[in-house]
């Protein structure tokens, strides 16, 4: 019995991802069966797969929420900021030192509710950040209030009669706002998450990876099931591929109640910190001059 336990401990220590985590901080604060562990490992596996990726040159940034606690378990530089402000802090770090890799972790509340505007503007600015949004369909940490991603009809602490509001599809929204890469998976697809995070990390520009994740304690208990397995089965059976949705020209009402998963966009665009560097160099060497305002615009501005 003793031998088996020792063997199991040794096996665990040999795990290839062990080196990325702060062992002294385990076990995590996550509830049993929470999807955060799946996301955390899938992201670190992506980092491990990218042989040229240097975790020591990476800053993990998060706001407040259960998902926001993930960087605290990673053995690397990290900043735990205030609720909704991970992206502005990440933007500041990247602008100050563009050589750093920045990974933002956050929940649907943190990234898409209080931080929603920051998310859209970071996509528009097209700054080189990788944002991993753990969408557990509610505010998990604070007891399960509804969020902008809570499905219609869902019961939460703040929607006891069922959610009557519409939801934001942020994987689609960030693609329209200017992101270079956007994907959504559920925790049923750890390999897909890893592949998407690899692409996001390599992408020069704004990249968004959303993972719809089970929160058995809050969302699950009030809706599908408090059992993580049943909740994951529900996520899987309610998913539909974005390619199928696009090929068949399905409308929003056609996919009502479904989780659209897959890659939403994957393009190359000029990146903000590189454009900024070019601008500064051009101003310094005199090749870029300030544009004189056109008179008709100036007149209009004066009259206004
Ligand atoms: C400015 C501010 N407003 C509200 C809160 C309370 N608060 C902390 S976490 C949170 C929501 C967490 O939900 P989410 O971001 O989805 O993360 P999860 O816990 O679900 O992973 C809220 C409302 C806060 N800390 N700061
Ligand atoms: S409340 Fe939900 S999201 Fe938070 S740790 Fe528990 S299961 Fe995970
Ligand atoms: Mg959440």
Tokens linked to 108: 């649907």
Q: Is residue 153 domain-resident? A: yes
Q: What is the pLDDT of residue 8?
A: 66
Q: How far is the CA of 140 from the centre of ligand 1 (A)?
A: 8
Tell me the C-alpha distance between 272 and 255, whole Å: 35
Tell me the C-alpha distance between 206 and 175, whole Å: 10
Task: Write out the residue range of the structural domain in which residue 170 sits.
Answer: 20-271
Q: How far is the CA of 276 from the centre of ligand 3 (A)?
A: 34
Half-sphere CA count of 39, side-chain side, radius 13 A: 33
C-alpha separations of 284 from 96, 99, 277, 280 in Å: 18, 21, 11, 6
Tokens linked to 79: 């900043």
**Going by DSSP bridges, is the β-strand pair 130-135/181-186 parallel, antiparallel, or unpaired?**
unpaired
Q: Is residue 163 domain-resident? A: yes
Out of 62, 82, 83, 168, give the residue to mutate to test ligand 1, the one with the largest number of ligand atoms within 8 Å of its CB.
Answer: 83
Q: What is the pLDDT of residue 215?
A: 98
Q: What is the pLDDT of residue 3?
A: 72
Out of 70, 218, 231, give the residue to mutate to test ligand 2, the one with the largest number of ligand atoms within 8 Å of its CB.
Answer: 218
Q: Is residue 304 domain-resident? A: no
User: What does the pLDDT look like over 42-79, one tens digit per residue?
Assistant: 999 999 999 999 999 999 999 999 999 999 999 999 99
Residue 133 — very low, low, confident or very high, per pLDDT cuts 50/70/90? Answer: very high
- Nearest C-alpha neighbor of 38 from the set 169, 129, 136: 136
Tell me the C-alpha distance between 76 and 69, whole Å: 14
Indicate if the pLDDT at residue 2 is higher than 70. no
Atom 11 of ligand 1, nearest CA residue? 139
Q: What is the pLDDT of residue 228?
A: 98
Q: What is the pLDDT of residue 230?
A: 98
Structural domains in the chain (count) = 1
Peptide bond preceding 239 in cis form (omega within 30 of 0): no
Mean pLDDT of the chain, nearest integer: 95
End-to-end CA distance of the chain: 83
Which residues line ligand 1 at a C-beta cut-off of 6 Å? 64-67, 83, 106-110, 134, 136, 139-142, 147
Determine which of 72-86, 209-223, 279-293 has the lowest per-residue pLDDT on average.
Answer: 279-293
Q: How far is the CA of 27 from the centre of ligand 2 (A)?
A: 14
Q: Which residue has the tokens 């063997």?
A: 7
Q: What is the pLDDT of residue 296?
A: 74
Q: Is residue 85 domain-resident? A: yes
Indicate if the pLDDT at residue 118 is higher than 90. yes
Q: Residue 252 in contact with residue 172, Cβ under 8 Å?
A: no
Indicate if the pLDDT at residue 1 is higher than 60. no
Report which bound ligand comes closest to the CA of 218: 2
User: What does the pLDDT look like over 6-39, one tens digit per residue?
Assistant: 766 666 667 899 999 999 999 999 999 999 999 9
Q: How far is the CA of 161 from the centre of ligand 2 (A)?
A: 22
Indicate if the pLDDT at residue 241 is higher than 60. yes
* Secondary structure of the chain in HEC code, one letter for each residue: CHHHHHHHHHHHHCCCCHHHECHHHCCCCCCCCCCHHHHHHHHHHHHHHCCCCCHHHEEEEECCCCHHHHHHHECCEEEECCCCCHHHHHHHHHHHCCCCEEEEEEEHHHHHHCCHHHHHHHHHHCCCCEEEEEECCCECCCCCECCCCCCCCCCECCECCCCCCCCCCHHHHHHHHCCCEEEEEECCCHHHHHHHHHHHHHCCCCEEEEEECCCHHHHHHHCCCCCHHHHHHHHHHCEEEHHHHHHCCCCCCCCCCCEEEEEEEECCCCCHHHHHHHHHHHHHHCCCCCCCCCHHHHHHHHHC
Evaluate: CB of 215 within 6 angstroms of ligand 2: yes
> CATH code at 245?
3.40.50.970
Q: What is the pLDDT of residue 199?
A: 98
Q: What is the pLDDT of residue 127?
A: 98
- Nearest C-alpha neighbor of 45 from the set 204, 262, 193: 193
- Nearest C-alpha neighbor of 87 from the set 114, 69, 56, 66: 114
| Ligand 2 nearest atom to the CA of residue 214, by list position | 7
Residue 90 — very low, low, confident or very high, per pLDDT cuts 50/70/90? Answer: very high
How many CB atoms are closer than 10 A to CB 236? 14
Determine which of 158-162, 225-229, 289-293 has the lowest per-residue pLDDT on average.
Answer: 289-293
Q: Which residue has the tokens 């053995």?
A: 75
Q: How far is the CA of 132 from the centre of ligand 2 (A)?
A: 16
Q: What is the pLDDT of residue 45?
A: 98
Q: What is the pLDDT of residue 11?
A: 63
Evaluate: CB of 217 within 6 angstroms of ligand 2: yes
Q: What is the pLDDT of residue 283?
A: 96
Q: How far is the CA of 259 from the centre of ligand 1 (A)?
A: 23
Determine which of 70-74, 105-109, 256-260 has the lowest per-residue pLDDT on average.
Answer: 256-260
Evaluate: CB of 87 within 6 angstroms of ligand 2: no
Angle (nearest 5°) at CA 186 between 77 and 237 = 170
């Amino acid at each position: 019995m003793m031998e088996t336990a020792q063997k199991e401990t040794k096996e665990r220590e040999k795990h290839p991802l062990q080196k990325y985590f702060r062992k002294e901080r385990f076990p995590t604060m996550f509830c049993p069966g929470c999807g955060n562990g799946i996301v955390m490992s899938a992201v670190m596996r992506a980092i491990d797969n990218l042989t040229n990726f240097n975790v020591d040159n990476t800053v993990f940034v998060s706001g407040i929420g259960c998902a926001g606690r993930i960087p605290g378990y990673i053995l690397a530089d990290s900043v735990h900021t205030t609720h909704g402000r991970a992206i502005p802090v990440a933007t500041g770090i990247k602008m100050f030192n563009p050589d750093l890799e920045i990974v933002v972790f956050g929940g649907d509340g943190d990234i898409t509710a209080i931080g929603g505007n920051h998310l859209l503007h970071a996509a528009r600015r097209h700054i080189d950040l990788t944002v991993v949004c753990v969408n557990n369909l509610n505010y998990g940490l604070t007891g399960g209030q509804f969020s902008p991603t809570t499905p219609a009809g869902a019961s939460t602490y703040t929607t006891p009669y069922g959610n009557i509001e519409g939801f934001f599809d942020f994987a689609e929204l960030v693609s329209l706002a200017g992101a270079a890469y956007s994907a959504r998976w559920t925790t049923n697809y750890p390999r897909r998450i890893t592949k998407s995070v690899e692409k996001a990390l390599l992408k020069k520009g704004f990249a968004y990876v959303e993972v719809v994740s089970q929160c058995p304690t809050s969302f699950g208990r009030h809706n599908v099931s408090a059992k993580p397995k049943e909740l994951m089965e529900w996520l899987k059976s309610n998913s539909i591929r974005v390619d199928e949705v696009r090929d068949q020209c399905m409308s929003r009402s056609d996919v009502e109640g479904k989780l659209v998963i897959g890659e939403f966009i994957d393009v190359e665009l000029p990146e903000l910190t590189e454009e900024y560097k070019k601008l500064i160099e051009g101003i310094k060497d005199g090749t870029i001059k300030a544009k004189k305002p056109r008179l008709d615009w100036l007149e209009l501005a004066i009259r206004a």
